[in-house]
Structure 1
Amino acid sequence: MTRTLDDANREITRVRQMPYGLARTQAAERQVRLVDAEGPDAARAYALSTLVEAYQWGGEVDRSFVAFARLLRWWDEHPEHFDAQDRHALFWSFKWMVSALADFPTVPAEQIDRTLADMERRYALAGNGMDAVAYERFAWARQRGAADAEAAYQAWVATPRDDWSQCEACDPGDRAAWLLATDRVPEGIRLIEQTLAQDPSCASEPADMLSYLAEAYLDTGRPRDAARAHRRAVAALAEAESDMVGARGRRIRLLARGGQAERTLRAIEADQQYLTGGDTPYSRLAFSRLVGAATHVLRPEHGDHPLRLDRVPAATVAELDDWLRAQAAELAARFDARNGTPSESEAVERAWRTEPADDVLDLDVLPRGLGSAGATGAGAAGAGSPAGAPAGDPDPAPVDEVGAHGAGRGTHAQHAAPDALVAEAERLVAAGDPEAAAAAYLDAAVAAEHAGLLADSGFAYAEAAHCAQVLGDDDGASAGYAAAIPRLRAGGLPPAALAPVVVQWARAAAATGDAAAVLSETDDLTAALAARLDAPPSADEDRAEALVAREQAADRRAAADLEDAAARLLATLGGDGRAQDAAARAQRAAEAYAALGAPADAAHAFWLAGRLHDGLGRVDEAVWHLESAVEGFTAARQRGPRGEAANDLVDVLRRSGQDARADELARSLTS
């Protein structure tokens, strides 16, 4: 039966609400096929522009060119079928096409020039402003290293903004990037600072400009400001919607140049998929250069340091450095041949001449010796040994008289009211200053311990650790959580109250080497929870049945959370043996969540198990768990995670030749 225009638009809109990925792309392809077969013609522009967007942001940029050509041809033939939204999407997509064409060295420069000229002609005929055209001319000149790049930049910034301009966050970010690249550093810093004061936000900002700002601060002798900008960049990067290879690569280069070798290597391992899997050849080249600058800086002292990489044939820093340089040189030569300039190869050479910064970055939000006797703080643990004692030791180490943290009040905090200090920390968190809040929480931990309030001290340590975690200080976070656990236990808290702290600790432990301690804690707490649940009611207990039921539900929930945290920690550590254990634990967590009536949590655990089974080559198990995840997210009405899990399921189905099931899934997601 032929769909009405309203029906078609409704289904296409559902596609646009899905997260980018294979499921969204295939759902968009299906909508185009339906319109081609059944109409209505008035929906074709909407369907095609949706497909262009799905390809562009779903990792298949090269496929967007054909879809855009169809959209443009439809506009030429039937402009009457384009409403105001369709027209805006068409002209907006022109910008993507020019940028995307330039990112593929196989596309001739003449074709890019023709596309730019066609864009300018069509914008003029439509009565559009010319800011987008001016920007794309500058971007193309900058990328190919043209002699007129500065003139193109000046022409762009002199062009008035209009409905097709970049967003108000991206625009100053791109201007600042050019200023910094052309040695106008104070001007670039000032522009970014002014823009950040306006709290900009979009798919890539403020993460991108913060990554530029952090390195600019480091280069101008402002390491404390560089550290703050870096922390803000890390937090913003976690919320970014695209792959952000530029910001990720600049982060890695900054860490290496700022004397943070350990953090650099962790970041490389975490982002290794971008070494080979960028959306375009140019994004791979850019990321290779940025990471190559980092490995070049590290190589003299850390060349033999091992790296856990499964994406590239390199096992040490030196081997990765060699591999990156070869990859970057080969890609750069291809772009230079197309561009007619040596610009990209020269950029590769500059990357491998990168020098360490004059200043060392201090990125420790919390001291690593936190919680141990004699450390600069209210006692904390070394790696895997809370309070300097075996896990589970009920007696936390004594408080050192030096104080909690260099940024806190030290010995003064020992005589302050813990409640007032916690209130101050909470105020700082609400004000968006987690760094100062971490110090305030440490002061509260010191004061509470001196007052004999061990549980309160433990909670304050945990909150300080969370602040450090938000700011990317996994080492400090791990130390803070390790300090919290024995104090909470010594304060008489039940296992269910300790579980959330261990769950948070697990998120930092894979990076810091504390995995064994965390897994030991999860197993101990899980056993304690099971014993509580299996214990018969006490003869002298006179408690309401409802209260007992609530406590048992809390224990079951805590046990499920611990199982899930252990699964995610093992999955992060990698290796087939750990992956198998992680998959089993994830399934147990999913089943426990489902029994508790928590479909969203169950879906997340099924999703993890499905990805793990896929990595182990277990197709049937992967499909079953991913289908369970999609069903769970559907029941929980969580559209975003549902679409992301569906992307993974479609990928498994396609790779295993189950195209009919993949097509059926695409239909179900928009019905």
Structure 2
Amino acid sequence: MARPKKQFAQLLEEIDRTPWGPQEQALVAEAVTLAQEIGDDRLEYQARMRQTASANMGGVTDVMLNSFAWCLARHDADPARFPLDIGNGGADLMWQFKWMASALRSSPAFSQDQIAAVLDDMEDHYRKAGLGLSGVLTARFEDAWEAGRMEDAERLRVQLEATPRDDYSHCDACSRSQVAGFFVDTDRDDEAIRLVEEMLEGGFSCGEEPEHALSRVLLSYLRAGRHDEAKSAHLRSYRLAKDNADNLAIVANNVVFCAVTGNEARALALVERHLPWLTHDGLNVDAHFAALSAFAFALDRVTEAGHGSTPVRGADATALRGFFGDHDGAWSAAELAAAAWAAAERIGADFDARDGGGAHAQRLEHLRGLAQARYDVPIRSDAFAAPSAAPAPTDPAEWAHRAMSFGQYGAEQETLEALPHALEIDDPARRAQLLSLQIGLLVARGKADEARDLLPERGAELRSAGLDAQADLETRAGLATFGADDAEDVATLDRELATGDALPAWSRGDLALSRAALHLRAQEADAALDLAERAAREFSADGDARMVNTTTLFAVAALLEKDGPDAAAGVVDGLLSQDDVSPGHRARALEVRARIRGGQGDFAAGAADADEACRILADLGATSALAPSHLLAGALWEDAGEADRAVSRYRLAARIVTQDGGDATGVDFRLGRAMLSAGDAAEAAELLSDVLQREEQSDVPAGSRGLTATTLAQALASSGEFGQAVGAYGYAAELYESAEQGADQAVALNEQAKILARFGEEDDAIALLENAAEIVRRHPDAPGAVTSVLHSLGQAYAGRRDDRAFVLFDEVEAVAREHEATWLLADVTDSRARALATLERTDEAVAAALTAADGFAALGDLGSAGGSELLAARVLAGAQRATDAVPVYRSVLEHAAEIPPLRQVAALELGDVLEGLGRTAEAAEARALAEG
């Protein structure tokens, strides 16, 4: 048995270093099975003790109850063989006891007598083990509170508060969260908020904290008028809770918050996302009650907002029928609201019958009482889909217009969807045009046989329209004039072009344009342009403005290929200035010009063009074609520094992609990045966390995931989540290392170190920076990364008065000079000055600081210039050279004329220096500047 026992020991080691979750649960189950196969109940005890904790963290209540009962029976029978604590650093048996009464209370299947018996048994075990009773009082308090025996609960809370804490007391985070929730239920919002803020300020956390505590005081914050804190608490709570199905009650609180703050679309999105969690833990029925009532409340709000007919995705899942009953087709929001209320009422009645009171009925009544509550706390992560700007066509002529417009724009999917309706038109010439469009699309999609089958019908329509010469040409040429490009097709086009003088002008133009397209496909831009010019002359001679414009757009593409955007810009401007340009051509031309303007750095003008293209497409009734157009507009607005506008465009693009069943991960990354730029850091962190999770599930390359993790870290840091930001930067560094992107890895380590240093972890920060410096020196082709890392390490050394700082500053200066990075040169000179100042090398420090100030001033950065001069003035004043400091302070005031905080500090310090020199009147004048 040595080998299985060794395997068992290895399993336990792996379990103890694996985070809670499905992988850890599977390992624990494997350990239990292996211990049973070995036949050693002491080994099984070690495995099951871990299983109880694992099931508690994962919300697998039935497994937790069974595992605990097995362990308790073994311990009671032989405490020596089966000790309370197995020494793995996890919860011991008496701590696990605390979970049992709560688990039984969470399901009406267990009677009040059973719950009381567990509580009594718990107290008996605690007393026999000589333990304090804080844990027992906590469990009794929870039982009374959840059963609605509020007077008993208050008495127990006071008793608990007076009872000395011991090793079996709830942790600081859990105890504050629990009492805060009780205070909310007993109308003591201020006290609840105080407890939660104490938790946050103290940095207390636990398995489901602080997310649970934050969710408990969301409404308290709103009632107190502290809307910003409420929004921040919601975003943090939900982001921390959203990936663990055992957090269903936490999510329920957040859903209610969304519903009462005008974020009905977000509430609906959360409902859809978390409906499957109802099936996660069959014994946690109280969480089902909380979720169902919250979902019902939110869906009522969705209905009131005018979206009651919106289908709720996933609600028709077979696994949910036990909650909502059978239903024909998708559930609408209004229908599901009624079903969810009914399910919550049914569950609540079961609990109240068990508890002999009306606690759950009162909770439903309280929730319904929020029906008139309205708080304006906008969250921009979700919005209802705007209705299509274009009604569906009512006759074949309108469908034909739509199909042709989409074809001229290049929206293949929309064109193919419109063509069957359009081809019902009773007009041979129009039908011939539509069939030409259909054949060309089929060829482009590699469906040559289907395209060839349509040629006879196209020929018949041409002849009916009196276009016999074109019909004869296509009979001879086959698919050559529709984009086919094999050698025979090319030869056919060349032959017909050479012998086509007798053909009508339109047919000659068609041949020229078809051959031009093949030249462009072969990257023969000059030949393509020559034939495009010939085609335009022929179409113009025939009087077909539509085909002239088609040819002009083709020529623009060839010009972009041949001579670049400057050459093409004038042609596009000319096309857009015409009055005879169809909507499809205009939209395509606007997008082309948007890209040209973006390439030329005129981002705002390009974004305006892209927006106008989107408007035209929406008026035409476009669907999938709108997504890339909105994406283009978003990218241009982002480049223009208009992050708010970019957010709205990216959100529309993401919604369209999702509605079409596509993968919106890439768009959502852009959306999250734009949210961060727009100042919505907490919302960005939530979205980027989702994006990273999706990327990991899709095996996106490590380098791309590294970029997402880096952006997530930036969002976390910007929203004050510094601990998680450190972790995200560390993960990004690992991903970049895996992708062999050393420069990016070093930058991620640099950012991680900055946060650690900010919170006093200098040793760890320097260790990270030294590692980053070693990595980045292997990448001289990334000067930005090199200077950033070496500069940071130099500043860290300088903070410790370590002369190695100056060698690093020299390296940074050399790179800055090589790349003419004048601002960086001034910045590293400022850092040198500060390092010299710490070493009391006064003259050198002052000279470096003033040199840095001159560099900043030359670039127009008066704030940084003033900061460097302020350093010089302080060094002089500190060296008892007050007279020399005065003119430097006056220079700071000059540079800080439009920077009030810097001006105030400099004025006050100048006043003190002048006072010390006995120049009282001047001192008063200086201080007056600080007040002005």
Gaps of 5+ in 2: 317-326, 385-585, 608-627, 668-686, 707-734, 739-932
Aligned to 2:162: 158
Aligned to 2:241: 237
Distance in 1 of aligned mates of 2:133 and 2:79: 21
Letter in 1 for 2:148: G
How many residues get paired? 445
Deviations 1:65-101 (A, max 9, x none): 2221110111112222245632852112111211111
Contact 1:394-1:490 within 8 A present in 2 as well: no
Aligned to 1:615: none
Letter in 1 for 2:335: E
Distance in 2 of aligned mates of 1:178 and 1:40: 45
Contact 1:336-1:345 within 8 A present in 2 as well: yes
Aligned to 1:93: 96
Distance in 2 of aligned mates of 1:135 and 1:72: 20
> How far apart are residue 191 of structure 1 and its match?
1.6
Aligned pair 1:226/2:230, yes or no?
A: yes
Letter in 2 for 1:486: L
Aligned to 1:55: 55
Aligned to 2:275: 272
Contact 1:224-1:362 within 8 A present in 2 as well: no
Instruction: Trace 1:581-592 onto structure 2 (pairs within 5 A).
Output: none
Aligned to 2:710: none
Change (3 A) 1:317 1:92: same
> How far apart are residue 342 of structure 1 and its match?
1.7
Aligned pair 1:167/2:171, yes or no?
A: yes
> How far apart are residue 155 of structure 1 and its match?
1.9
Aligned to 1:254: 257
Distance in 2 of aligned mates of 1:268 and 1:519: 21
Change (3 A) 1:363 1:311: closer
Contact 1:223-1:361 within 8 A present in 2 as well: yes
Distance in 2 of aligned mates of 1:202 and 1:82: 27
Contact 2:262-2:376 within 8 A present in 1 as well: yes
Letter in 2 for 1:51: Q
> How far apart are residue 183 of structure 1 and its match?
0.5
Instruction: Trace 1:55-134 onto structure 2 (pairs within 5 A).
Output: 55-82=55-82, 85-86=85-86, 88-134=91-137
Distance in 2 of aligned mates of 1:520 and 1:68: 43
Instruction: Trace 1:145-544 onto structure 2 (pairs within 5 A).
Output: 145-146=148-149, 147-238=151-242, 241=244, 243-278=246-281, 280-302=284-306, 304-312=308-316, 313=327, 315-364=331-380, 393=591, 483=633, 485-486=635-636, 512-513=655-656, 515=658
Distance in 2 of aligned mates of 1:71 and 1:317: 46
> How far apart are residue 488 of structure 1 and its match?
8.2
Change (3 A) 1:65 1:236: closer
SS in 2 for 1:70: helix
Change (3 A) 1:166 1:394: farther
**Worse-matched range after superposition: 55-64 or 90-99:** 55-64
Distance in 1 of aligned mates of 2:382 and 2:288: 35
Distance in 2 of aligned mates of 1:158 and 1:3: 53
Distance in 2 of aligned mates of 1:300 and 1:332: 25
Change (3 A) 1:482 1:359: farther
Contact 1:131-1:162 within 8 A present in 2 as well: yes
Contact 2:272-2:314 within 8 A present in 1 as well: no
Deviations 1:122-180 (A, max 9, x none): 11211222221111101111111124121122222322222222222221111111111
Change (3 A) 1:488 1:323: closer
Contact 2:28-2:51 within 8 A present in 1 as well: yes
Contact 1:25-1:55 within 8 A present in 2 as well: yes
Contact 2:51-2:64 within 8 A present in 1 as well: yes
**Worse-matched range after superposition: 42-51 or 482-491:** 482-491
Deviations 1:163-222 (A, max 9, x none): 222222221111111111100111111221222122333221222222233321212223
Aligned to 1:12: 12
Change (3 A) 1:161 1:79: same
Distance in 2 of aligned mates of 1:521 and 1:489: 21
Deviations 1:95-126 (A, max 9, x none): 12111111121111111111111111111211
> How far apart are residue 352 of structure 1 and its match?
2.7
> How far apart are residue 518 of structure 1 and its match?
12
Change (3 A) 1:148 1:49: same
Distance in 1 of aligned mates of 2:666 and 2:55: 44
- TM-score normalised to structure 2 length: 0.42
Letter in 2 for 1:143: E
SS in 1 for 2:100: helix
Change (3 A) 1:391 1:328: farther
SS in 2 for 1:247: helix
Contact 1:3-1:40 within 8 A present in 2 as well: no
Letter in 2 for 1:250: N
> How far apart are residue 39 of structure 1 and its match?
4.8
Aligned to 1:531: none
Distance in 2 of aligned mates of 1:143 and 1:329: 16
Which of structures 1 and 2 has the bigger CA Rg? 2
Change (3 A) 1:270 1:508: farther
Contact 2:630-2:652 within 8 A present in 1 as well: no
Task: Identify which of structures 1 and 2 has the higher relative contact order when contacts are C-alpha pairs closer than 8 Å and 6+ apart.
Answer: 1
> How far apart are residue 262 of structure 1 and its match?
1.8
More helix per residue: 2
Letter in 2 for 1:221: G
Distance in 2 of aligned mates of 1:195 and 1:287: 25
Change (3 A) 1:521 1:263: closer
Distance in 1 of aligned mates of 2:180 and 2:367: 20
Distance in 1 of aligned mates of 2:209 and 2:125: 29
Contact 1:221-1:358 within 8 A present in 2 as well: no
Change (3 A) 1:153 1:394: farther
Change (3 A) 1:125 1:519: closer
> How far apart are residue 335 of structure 1 and its match?
1.2
Contact 1:302-1:317 within 8 A present in 2 as well: no
Gaps of 5+ in 1: 369-387, 400-448, 459-477, 492-501, 525-564, 573-584, 602-632, 637-671
Letter in 2 for 1:393: E
> How far apart are residue 226 of structure 1 and its match?
2.1
Letter in 2 for 1:485: A
Change (3 A) 1:61 1:365: closer
Change (3 A) 1:6 1:521: closer
Change (3 A) 1:398 1:341: farther
Letter in 2 for 1:341: G
Deviations 1:501-535 (A, max 9, x none): x9x999966864454899699999xxxxxxxxxxx
